[in-house]
Amino acid sequence: MSLRVALRHAFDGFGLDVAFTAGPGVTALFGRSGAGKTTVVNAVAGLLRPDHADIALGQTLFDSGTTHLPPNKRRIGYVFQDARLFPHLSVAENLDYAARFGARAKNRDQIVALLGLGDLLGRRPATLSGGQKQRVALGRALLSAPQLLLMDEPLAALDAPRKAEILPYLERLKAESAVPILYVSHALDEVARLADRIVVLDGGRIRADGPVFDVLADPELVPLFGVREAGAILPATVTERAADGLTRLTTSAGDVHLMGVHAAQGDTIRLRVLAQDVMLSRTRPDGLSALNILPVRISHIYKGDGPGVALRLMAGDDPLLARITARALAYLDLSEGDECFAILKASSVAPTAISGAQTAPV
């Protein structure tokens, strides 16, 4: 099942004009506040009637002038930034309310287990943490048997510990559920952990659309992502867990050693490597405290208006992103096509930037 969206809509002083397709897995709709993300998902959900649009999910949901399927007929689950649970109902009753519209009892048990809701069923929403409320809201959306799940900034209202609590559940949902997800966020750490594809919005227009591994490693998007948040995703396999707390991971460019990895041996995980944490050397350095040194090839250099330069690196089969100063680029005399070495400290990749770093309890 794929979602097809082509829409144009005008507000005072702002015009939205986008077209994209969201297939299986997680498609992230990324952009700064005001980029048009929520307008898109509200149009998909049927909560907003756009000026002109063609929206289809197996069938036409909206076609300007001919079709406007009501929200309750679209079979779309919607998880908002705030959980919007019924406060007078228990968790079980909130879930059962949605289950009346689609899920069978077996599916209910599976979803309760998937989201770790078993111990919460008798409680009222007022007694739950923010992360627990969002898990219940997610369960309620899934129990309506949706063909598509919309998630509009579901973690934006949570503090860092609650966000870290719920991310593993979202990873499990992605791995174990066949429901495609359109995930709206302005947080790159969430997108890097969850998304398969990303659509980048800027000022109501699409700046990039493609596999998340490729788009996040595009040096020309660094100004949009932010110089301190820009970074690429490096896939790796857990190879060995050492007694000193470091875990050896195998990438297509070689081994890296990191802290805070709790995934099982043999698991394939994602590492979000910030561009500002990657150092470059013309020759393989010796005598460094940094353990991770990968051979790379420079595939693209982007020079912005400031003192920084962004470089797309190929580390084996996978792209990395580095940001250095223009002065360092000139000093090293680096050009596109050159081979060099990327240096990464073991402590520079935070546990929250590692998918599978924490396992959601059942």
**Contact (CB, 8 A) for 125 and 133:** yes
Model pLDDT, residue 219: 96
Contacts of 260 (CB under 8 A, 6+ apart): 349, 350, 351, 354, 357
Residue 218's SS3 state is coil
Tokens 């400031």, residue located? 306
Order of all β-strands in the sheet with 26-30? 76-79, 148-152, 181-185, 26-30, 197-202, 205-211
Mean pLDDT score of the chain, rounded to an integer? 91
Model pLDDT, residue 238: 94
Look up the pTM and report it. Answer: 0.90
- 361 pLDDT band, cuts 50/70/90, is very low
Q: Where are the chain's structural domains?
A: 3-215, 231-353
Alpha-carbon gap, residue 137 to 48, rounded angstroms: 21
Alpha-carbon gap, residue 328 to 349, rounded angstroms: 23
Q: What is the mean pLDDT of residues 304-320?
A: 94
Q: What is the mean pLDDT of residues 178-205?
A: 94
Say whether pLDDT at 357 is over 60.
no
Q: What is the mean pLDDT of residues 305-314?
A: 94
DSSP string, 24-93: SSEEEEE--TTSSHHHHHHHHHTSS--SEEEEEESEEEEETTTEE--GGGS-EEEE-SS----TTS-HHH
Q: What is the mean pLDDT of residues 243-252?
A: 92
Top mean pLDDT of 39-48, 94-103, 169-178 is at 39-48
- Spelled out in words, what is the top-level CATH class assigned to the domain 231-353? mainly beta
Residue pLDDT, tens place only, 77-100: 999 888 889 999 999 999 988 777
- 360 pLDDT band, cuts 50/70/90, is very low
Model pLDDT, residue 110: 87
**Contact (CB, 8 A) for 341 and 295:** yes
Q: What is the mean pLDDT of residues 279-300?
A: 94
Residue pLDDT, tens place only, 131-148: 999 999 999 998 888 999
Contacts of 331 (CB under 8 A, 6+ apart): none
Per CATH, the number for 3-215 is: 3.40.50.300
Residue pLDDT, tens place only, 221-230: 999 999 999 9
Min mean pLDDT across 65-74, 195-204, 234-243, 323-332 is at: 65-74
Min mean pLDDT across 105-119, 197-211, 283-297, 346-360 is at: 346-360
Model pLDDT, residue 273: 95
